[in-house]
Amino acid sequence: MSMYMINNFVHLLFAVIWIGGMIFMNLVLMPSLNSVDPNERGKLFGQIAKRFTIVAWGSTILLLITGIFKTPTGMLFNLSTDYGMMITFKHILFLIMMIFGSIITFVEAPKIRKFAPKPGEKPVQEFINAQGKIKLLSGSNMILGIIILIAVSIY
The H or E element that residue 14 is part of is helix 3-24
CA–CA separation, 142 and 14 (whole Å): 14
pLDDT at 67: 92
pLDDT at 78: 87
Those residues of the chain that have pLDDT short of 70 are none
Handedness of CA 99, 155, 25, 68 (dihedral sign): negative
pLDDT at 93: 96
pLDDT at 95: 96
pLDDT at 73: 84
pLDDT at 63: 95
Q: Dmax over Cα atoms in the chain, in whole Å?
A: 60
pLDDT at 38: 74
